[in-house]
Amino acid sequence: MAGNRNAGVTESRRKTTPFREVAILGPGLLGGSLALALRDSANTRLWARRPEAVAEILEQKIAATASVDLREVIDGADLVIFCTPVEAMHDIALRIAPDVRADAVVTDVGSVKERVLREIGPIFANFIGSHPMAGSEQGGLFAARPNLFEAAVCILTPDSSTNAHALKKLTAFWGALGCEIRFLSPREHDEAIGAISHLPHLTASALARAATSIPGEPQLFAGQGFRDSTRIASGPPPMWAGILLSNREAVRAGIQRLISELENADSFLKNGDEEGLRMFLTEAKLIRDSVRLKQKENGGI
């Protein structure tokens, strides 16, 4: 595992969290980064499906405990975090339910919330959805880093049944990792993230296919523009297929909006409408520039 695991550690990582015993289910980019971020402030236990992953976690001292045994990881935890694919959460929830403390807070880091709340919310007394907007096209334990969550937005999705004390503790937890907290309903979350995260991934994949579908090997001439606009298409296909299917309605609505925009651009080109095309590009530039400005204000790039 390459890189300095302690690089980028800041004061936010050293803040005290409300939880002392944290069970993390799934040692990918987010699960591994959580374990690293919490290493000095909580007793972390990581569950992995494969013994090879457990050996890597222990060798790199990413978590205090790692095991393929769910019960061993769950036992005594006051916070349980699902970092598995959304489609795997329900079965795991059923398996661990008898061993989860009655007062434990349970959350997840998935990018879909209505399905998660519907499938595993009723299983636990204190389940609240979380979505830290952190990560990259690189996945897996090897990409984990302790400062992944610093300055990232974390969306919490409480509903009418959410325990106020549990929500307060979970809000403090993500805040201690350096996150900026936002609150949305599960439906609002899925609509927003479908538009701003899931649709862009599908679009990047479609662009990579469309741009290289002409005869020859046009990818040999690809410059920075092509690399930038298709970068996220390098994300893990099995993970993204699950995400897109789990939020299919929001993504399909986004596809229709995208088709409408492309039809507008096609019309400008067909009719030689330079003024219309300039306005189209200008409006898009203003939107994109506003995102970059917000990132700089928050200390990002």
pLDDT value for 142: 76
For the chain (301 residues), the mean pLDDT of every run of 10, in chain order, is 37 69 95 93 94 92 92 96 95 97 97 96 97 78 88 95 96 96 97 97 97 91 92 91 96 98 98 98 95 60 40
pLDDT value for 2: 36
pTM, two decimals, is: 0.86
pLDDT value for 296: 55
pLDDT value for 93: 98
pLDDT value for 210: 95
pLDDT value for 177: 96
Spacing of C-alpha 199 from chain mean position: 14
